[in-house]
Amino acid sequence: MILDAKGELLFFKTAAHLEAYVEAADVVNGEYGSCWDAEGRLLKLSIESQHSPLLGVLPYKRDIVHVVATEDRPSHLTDVHLALLRHLAEVGLEAEMPVTNDTTDLLTFAIEHAGWT
């Protein structure tokens, strides 16, 4: 999973990792741009409100972030590619980028340098 945090790309192994990291308030406040899977499928961050009693008595509302695919077949690989190029240039790794300029190679390179979130 690749999340555009307003210019900085964050990388997650799974949707569950992304959902655990992202705060609902940040989603509501527009802190994140696009989100994709590694194949270029556009994803959307949605919020689910859960209501349950706290300690069995007090009303408690909890907002949970979910990652939802917006398309069955990936059609945003070019967007991922451009975001990776921009990200790698911004973090000063442009000169070290793979010469193949392949999106998969760029993603692997970016993850190696940024680490998984």
Q: What is the pLDDT of residues 85-105, one digit of tens each?
A: 999 999 888 778 788 889 999
For residues 105 and 100, give the distance between their C-alpha atoms in angstroms, rounded to a whole number.
Answer: 7
Instruction: Please give the backbone phi and psi of residue 43, each rounded to the nearest 5 degrees, phi first.
Output: -115, 160
Q: Tell me the pLDDT tens digit for each residue of 29-63.
A: 999 999 999 999 999 999 998 777 767 677 777 88
pLDDT band at 117 (very low <50, low <70, confident <90, very high): low
Is residue 63 within 8 A of residue 48, CB to CB? The reply is yes
Q: What is the pTM of this model?
A: 0.84
Interval 13-36 mean pLDDT: 95
- Residue-level pLDDT at 24: 95
Confidence grade of residue 116 (pLDDT, cut at 50, 70, 90): low
Helix (H, G, I), strand (E, B) or coil at 111: helix
Helix residue ranges per DSSP H, 29-76: none
Q: What would the two tokens of residue 12 be?
A: 């997650």
